[in-house]
A and B are shown apart, each in its own frame.
Chain A
Amino acid sequence: MSGVIFRLTALAFICALALGLMHLKTKPCILANKKAYALKQLQSVIPDRSVEFIAIGDAVFEIREEQVLIGYLKEITTEAGYNGEIKLWLAVSLDNKVMGARVTQHNETPGLGDDLDIAVSDWILSFNDQKLETIRWAVKKDKGDFDQFTGATITPRAVVAVIEKALSANVNKDVGREVKNGI
């Protein structure tokens, strides 16, 4: 009996050793990958400009171009999607204009509601350079200016609403206040 226990323990020890070594070897590389991936996701929101992102809070970044503050990047979430939560990054300039938006996570139906994904269609680009006053913030079915998707109105409606909400709350002022209050 004790022989059996010894053998299992020895095997467990060897396995643990292998995993530990691999973990130590790969850890720096995986961390670097994670950082690079996160940065790539941020940069994809504003692909045409070379900007820097400085974290100033939880999922809030200052966007700086040549050290000058030009806007804020913030993660926003809506529960109003057809299949639950939709997460997106929204970049807003100092004069409250959309610099870019990208959906990072959604469960919308493939082929119907996933047109909000930049990999599937260009729809999300229609928010670029819009301000609260420059466009009617609703889908066409609701007498707005944004296209809905064939067979899926709920998804674009949710995204339009959450971006409008973020703009009207004036993302920048919010961010500023949050930072001052140390939140």
Chain B
Amino acid sequence: MVSKQITMNGLWHQNPALVQLLGLCPLLAVSNTITNSLVLGFVTLIVLTASNLIISLIRPWLDDTTRLPAQIMVIASFVTLSDLALQTWFFEIHQIIGLFIALIVTNCTVLGRAESFASRNPVLNSILDGFMMGLGFMLVIVLMGTLREALGQGTLFQQIHLIIGGSADDWVIHLPNSQFLLLVLPPGAFICFGCLIALKNWTEQIGEKKREANQKKSPQNSLSQI
């Protein structure tokens, strides 16, 4: 039950990007292609999960004065580790988005989950929370990357060969006649993100209205639920 709640919170109800509006700097800056979004989203996911795990583990040894410095130290270490790993195995992609990998330290989602969840909850739940929050963030950034690349540049999977090998021609899909320059530029990121938030709120409103309508139709049912 708890795990289901954590999952839904990370992916939907408390989605770090769409609801909490955290980590917007990388979300807006890196979401210009699917490849960049995938890598940044994945590294954020790893860092979130790993730091939640460690912070939940060391929770009993820390008090209020030392909790924050300890959390930041753990997070910064994991970010640096993944930065080095990326340079070792995916050097060219690191040349493109390396700056934003180091900046994951400052992604409020990571410290936010460490402070508000991992430092108060048992290890397994914390791992799940980190993973689901990371996944929620990754889904949003990849969705943004897909939209902006498809509509802005008229391609899909540009430079994906940098992460999965092969040559560029094997993967890149060219879409006919769709080059909407605005979406490639920074303002396009804001507009695209705004539309996603609106879409999310809209679906929630529809769901709520349906629930209300159901309750009106069958008052007995809702009573028995309470």
Contact = CB atoms under 8 A, between A and B. Distances in A.
A110 B91 contact: no
Given A7-B66, A8-B70, A110-B181, A33 B88 contact: yes
Contacts of B73: 11-12, 15
Interface in B111-156: 152
Interface string A1-29: 00010011001100100110011001001
Contact of B66 (A4, A22, A37, A111): A4
A37 B95 contact: yes
B154 to A, nearest CB: 10
Interface residues of B, number: 26
A11 B91 contact: no
B62 A7 contact: yes
Interface string B64-100: 0110011001101100110011011001100100000
Contacts of A36: 91
A109 B188 CA distance: 13
A140 interface: no
Given A19-B81, A37-B95, A26 B88 contact: yes
A179 B177 CA distance: 51
Main secondary structure of the interface of A (DSSP, over half): helix
A112 B185 CA distance: 11
A12 to B, nearest CB: 6
B179 interface: yes
Given A12-B73, A15-B74, A34 B66 contact: no
A23 B80 CA distance: 10
Contacts of A26: 84-85, 87-88
A36 B95 CA distance: 13
A30 B92 CA distance: 11
A33 B63 contact: no
Given A110-B181, A111-B179, A8 B69 contact: yes
Q: Report which residue of A11, A18, A30, A110 has the largest number of chain B beta carbons within 10 angstroms of its beta carbon.
A: A11
B110 to A, nearest CB: 15
A66 B79 CA distance: 45
B61 A7 contact: yes
Contacts of B77: 15, 18-19
B195 interface: no
A71 B66 CA distance: 61
B81 A33 contact: no
Contacts of B66: 4, 7-8
Nearest to A37: B91
A37 B73 CA distance: 32
Interface string A97-127: 0000000000001111000000000000000
B62 A110 contact: no
A33 B185 CA distance: 31
Given A8-B66, A8-B69, A30 B179 contact: no
B184 interface: yes
26 contacts: A4-B63, A4-B66, A7-B62, A7-B66, A8-B70, A11-B58, A11-B74, A15-B73, A15-B77, A18-B81, A22-B85, A23-B84, A26-B87, A26-B88, A30-B84, A30-B88, A34-B91, A37-B92, A37-B95, A109-B185, A110-B181, A110-B184, A111-B179, A111-B181, A111-B185, A112-B181
